[in-house]
Structure 1
């Protein structure tokens, strides 16, 4: 048995979609979550800044003697994971490869759409990984810079004219390509699944990248003993705002209220 916690981080609250899945499939595990709410979103930052932030996030999590890190951020997974993973002896699991594997399993036509932050799309990592696995796949990428702010402000439901208008505009180029699978390449986006699914139609399968990453963790860890795991939450700004938003992402209440940390100290 290994009762050390699993570390999870994201640029804000979006990574809680990965935590939600970890709670479902690994209920005995303790989790330390860090949301960099003071510097969200990462997706509009330069590669150098994203790398700096990632190193700070990892140094903070390592304070807790973690046994693995889930990088619940597509932007970091696309632009900084390979570098930082080589700098630490703690296993790090990103969201890109698990999401690609899930999309390949789901598609019947080989036409896959990917929506993500500008940094994730600019990196081209999803296109590279999907086509490395199967050169016959047709991959269509679309940056969606306004979706993270929508989610962070709770504008996520059908009937919200702002959410519906923004999602419709972003998805139009992807929808025109007749994809049958759409990767939500940002862990914030599953909160918009209702709006996205309504726009794409029932014949398109949505892939939750955070949930896919959580699934991949299960097979690589020495499990904790059978007990009820607990999750602690840390943020770089506005813990009250985080505490209000988090239950919607987790589909449940927090074990403990979020604590604020000075991430620039790491």
Structure 2
């Protein structure tokens, strides 16, 4: 049986990573878990996010994945080292790939970052960026309203324009030339974000770079899937399935048929 890449997120945001994995690595099987019952993670204490991430990884390990991708910036910021210490397979987050992509893109050395309260509070992107380029200048802004909008399926053109404009107001006019979408939910809103920030600011989504890094790691370890029949992906969510299914099918289009399965995780409120 083909070993899968396990991808987890606080909700639907990690589907942006899944879409890139399916595009770049069409032979790879994906098992996805969205913790929609407890989304968003951004406002939660770090220890609670670590607990939730452990619970999801413990569930996903039963499928014997060859890699775990934490496709949630908040969980990456506070839980990735904890998860790496607990499992024997490679564990990849989304912050380092996004930081590297921004460093490659910036011309001015001034980078913007938007994310959840938890991600911005952790300074994970600032640390990641300055570990590569110590002189980089970073403007960070928490945008707690955006991920919940996406979780409701409100990401089509014009649906989120007002909340995006409100969320980005403090960054408009700053001397940044690229903006890291530091939450995997935000690429759903890329059109609205680009409209607010203007044509001189390049948006950086970690999804592309994360998929490339997945490919590089699996290739180096000789773990890439053998050519053959296209894989059958599996999708799980911890909450109500109807909205999740609608969003997933809208975002992933005709790439797969989705039948989400509810897993009632222990609630820690």
Task: Please state which band the TM-score falls in when normalised by the shorter chain.
Answer: over 0.9
- Residue in 1 that maps onto 2:194: 197
Deviations 1:13-69 (A, max 9, x none): 110010000000110011100000110011111011001000001011101010001
Q: Distance in 1 between matches of 2:92 and 2:191?
A: 27
1:77 corresponds to 2:79: no
Q: 1:230 aligns with which of 219, 229, 232?
A: 232
Unaligned stretches of 5+ in structure 1?
none
Aligned residues: 262
Aligned residue for 2:171, secondary structure, equals: helix
Partners of 1:117 and 1:144 within 8 A in 2: yes
Q: 1:168 to 1:256 in 2, by over 3 A?
A: closer
1:88-107 counterparts in 2 under 5 A? Answer: 88-107=87-106
| TM-score (structure 1 length as normaliser) | 0.95
Greater alpha carbon shift after TM alignment, 18-27 vs 253-262: 253-262
Aligned residue for 1:241, secondary structure, equals: helix
RMSD: 1.4
- Residue in 1 that maps onto 2:261: 259
1:47 corresponds to 2:46: yes
Q: 1:169 aligns with which of 147, 150, 166?
A: 166
Q: Distance in 1 between matches of 2:266 and 2:66?
A: 23
1:52-201 counterparts in 2 under 5 A? Answer: 52-160=51-159, 163-201=160-198
Partners of 1:232 and 1:255 within 8 A in 2: no
Partners of 2:11 and 2:34 within 8 A in 1: yes
Misfit runs of 4+, over 6 Å:
none
- Residue in 1 that maps onto 2:34: 35
Q: Distance in 1 between matches of 2:33 and 2:71?
A: 10
Q: CA deviation at 1:253?
A: 5.0
Q: CA deviation at 1:168?
A: 1.4
Partners of 1:60 and 1:263 within 8 A in 2: no
Deviations 1:194-249 (A, max 9, x none): 00001111111111123321221001111111121221100111112211111222
Q: Distance in 1 between matches of 2:112 and 2:49?
A: 24
Q: CA deviation at 1:114?
A: 0.4
Q: Distance in 1 between matches of 2:253 and 2:51?
A: 32
Higher relative contact order (CA 8 A, sep 6+): 1
Q: Distance in 2 between matches of 1:93 and 1:103?
A: 18
Deviations 1:69-115 (A, max 9, x none): 11100000111111221121111000000000000001111110000
Partners of 1:246 and 1:254 within 8 A in 2: no
Partners of 1:29 and 1:230 within 8 A in 2: no
